């Protein structure tokens, strides 16, 4: 009987989240002692974060996976995000709090802007516009910047999605063009309103 040779099957490569999950050192099957249980409880309380896979949940308690799930399953999107993985720079702002402060920013955002998470949490995302440096922009860029700011403010006030190019500044003062996508969502479990920002350097 003649057998047709089959091409070898190539498995798709894992994304960083999957790799981190597989590399995570889960507890063994042995029954923990009372001291082990107390130590684990102390670690959990200090983290205040139900970690399953490292990096997927924010220490602030924001369930970023649920937030992103609601972004990508929202009805009638007006902004097309395309493929997004953990290399994307992401911020999450709480629209129910005064000033709509950032409550989550991932490592990719820190790499893009130079700001650490602790430096941005609690601030309104508009700090990236860096008003103290805007005056140095050429006239035409200043006009474009003012228009972009106005569009962002209108979109946030009306809870509308928006995607635009805007001039932002890194921590070191370097100017860059940010392709910014802002997606407002409401979590179904508690009704909290968030605005999820996706930041891409367009330079």
Q: What value does the mean pLDDT of the chain take? A: 76
- Assigned domain for 70 exists: yes
pLDDT band at 167 (very low <50, low <70, confident <90, very high): confident
Q: Cα(first)–Cα(last) distance of the chain, in Å?
A: 60
pLDDT in tens, 176-200: 999 999 999 998 888 889 999 999 9
pLDDT in tens, 76-88: 999 988 877 778 8
- Judged against a pLDDT cut of 80, whether residue 138 lies above it is answered with no
- Assigned domain for 4 exists: no
Alpha helices per DSSP H over 48-105: 64-72
Average pLDDT over residues 139-166: 83
Percent of the chain with pLDDT over 70: 62
Total domains present in the chain: 1
| Full residue range of the structural domain in which residue 97 is found | 40-201
H or E stretch covering 112 = helix 107-113
Nearest Cα residue to 168 out of 196, 141, 140: 141
- Assigned domain for 16 exists: no
Q: What pTM was estimated for this model as a whole?
A: 0.67
Cβ neighbours, 10 Å, residue 80: 8
Torsion (CA) 186, 187, 191, 195 in degrees, nearest 10: -40
Nearest Cα residue to 77 out of 149, 155, 184: 184
pLDDT band at 153 (very low <50, low <70, confident <90, very high): confident
pLDDT value at residue 186 = 92
- Judged against a pLDDT cut of 90, whether residue 110 lies above it is answered with yes
- Assigned domain for 114 exists: yes
- Assigned domain for 14 exists: no
pLDDT value at residue 178 = 93
* Dihedral sign of CA atoms 110, 193, 65, 55 in order: positive
Q: What CATH number is given to the structural domain containing 69?
A: 3.30.450.20
- Judged against a pLDDT cut of 50, whether residue 20 lies above it is answered with yes
Nearest-angstrom CA–CA distance, 40 and 34: 10
pLDDT value at residue 14 = 55
- Assigned domain for 28 exists: no
pLDDT value at residue 126 = 85
Average pLDDT over residues 130-152: 67
Which residues sit opposite 180 in a β-bridge?
Answer: 164, 199
Which residues sit opposite 95 in a β-bridge?
Answer: none
- Assigned domain for 171 exists: yes
**Comparison of pLDDT for 33 and 187, the residue scoring more:** 187
- Assigned domain for 112 exists: yes
Q: Is 163 helix (H, G, I), strand (E, B) or coil?
A: strand
């Amino acid at each position: 009987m003649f057998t047709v040779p089959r091409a070898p099957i190539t498995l798709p490569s894992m994304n960083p989240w999957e790799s981190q999950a597989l590399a995570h050192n889960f507890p063994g099957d042995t029954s923990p002692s009372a001291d082990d249980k107390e130590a684990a409880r102390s670690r959990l309380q200090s983290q205040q974060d139900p970690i399953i896979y490292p990096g997927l949940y924010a220490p602030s308690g924001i369930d970023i996976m649920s937030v992103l799930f609601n972004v990508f399953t929202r009805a009638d999107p007006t902004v097309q995000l395309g493929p997004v993985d953990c290399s994307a720079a992401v911020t999450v702002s709480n629209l129910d709090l005064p000033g709509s402060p950032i409550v989550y920013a991932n490592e990719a955002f820190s790499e893009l802007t130079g700001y650490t998470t602790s430096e941005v949490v609690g601030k309104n995302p508009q700090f990236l516009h860096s008003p103290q440096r805007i005056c140095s922009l050429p006239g035409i860029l200043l006009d474009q910047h003012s228009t972009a700011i106005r569009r962002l403010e209108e979109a946030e006030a009306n809870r509308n999605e928006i995607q635009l190019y805007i001039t932002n500044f890194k921590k070191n003062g370097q100017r860059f063009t940010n392709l910014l996508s802002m997606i407002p969502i409401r979590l179904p479990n508690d009704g909290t309103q968030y605005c999820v920002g996706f930041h891409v350097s367009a330079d």
